[in-house]
Structure 1
């Protein structure tokens, strides 16, 4: 069942993508009225986002050497605790 909700949608077809046929953007209700954004600016922003590479945020990967160091430290602490207890 669909309730009475109306949303403005902007559909952009990326030109250089072999994977995606289209990108669909849901516009905020206040985008055009309150922020003074023109339709041309919206279209340019949508095209820019559709053509942009995935997020450039770096992944936090822990290097293998750090894993080895953490493992060695935990084994060392376990050995030290056994020596001090017994």
Structure 2
């Protein structure tokens, strides 16, 4: 039941069409008066939150979020080494 209370909302159309048509965010009353925050900044934040939720909620996103950051660093180092070694031996 709604009792004459108006709210500011942001509607993000199709954050990911495979899952959602739109995401609706209810914005705090004082969000626009804080520290010079613009409407564009709030909209960007809403888009980021929608994308982050999708990443965390999909099976691939869940798998990737379980891998600790040092593993990403090690894999990146191995990949860089492989590229350099390939480049050196191909010349």
Question: Which TM class, normalised by the smaller chain length?
Answer: 0.5 to 0.7
Structure showing greater relative contact order (alpha-carbon pairs closer than 8 Å, 6 or more residues apart) = 1
**Structure 2 Cα separation of the partners of residues 8 and 28 of structure 1:** 7
CA contact (8 A) 2:12 2:22 kept: yes
Structure 1 segment 52-71 matched on structure 2, within 5 A: 52=52, 53-54=55-56
Higher Cα Rg, which structure:
1
Tell me how many residue pairs correspond in the alignment: 58
TM-score normalised by structure 1 residue count: 0.55
Q: Are 1:12 and 1:23, in contact at CA under 8 Å, matched by a contact in 2?
A: yes
Higher helix share: 2
RMSD of aligned alpha carbons:
2.3
Unmatched tracts of structure 1, length 5 or more: 59-86
For residues 4 and 16 of structure 1, do their structure 2 counterparts lie closer, same or farther at Cα, with a shift above 3 Å needed? closer
Query: What secondary structure is seen at the aligned counterpart in 2 of 1:3?
Result: coil
Mind listing any 5+ residue stretches in structure 2 that lack a counterpart? 67-91
Runs of 4+ in 1 over 3 A off after TM superposition: 55-58
Classify 1:6/1:35 alpha carbon distance in 2 versus 1 (closer, same or farther; 3 Å): farther
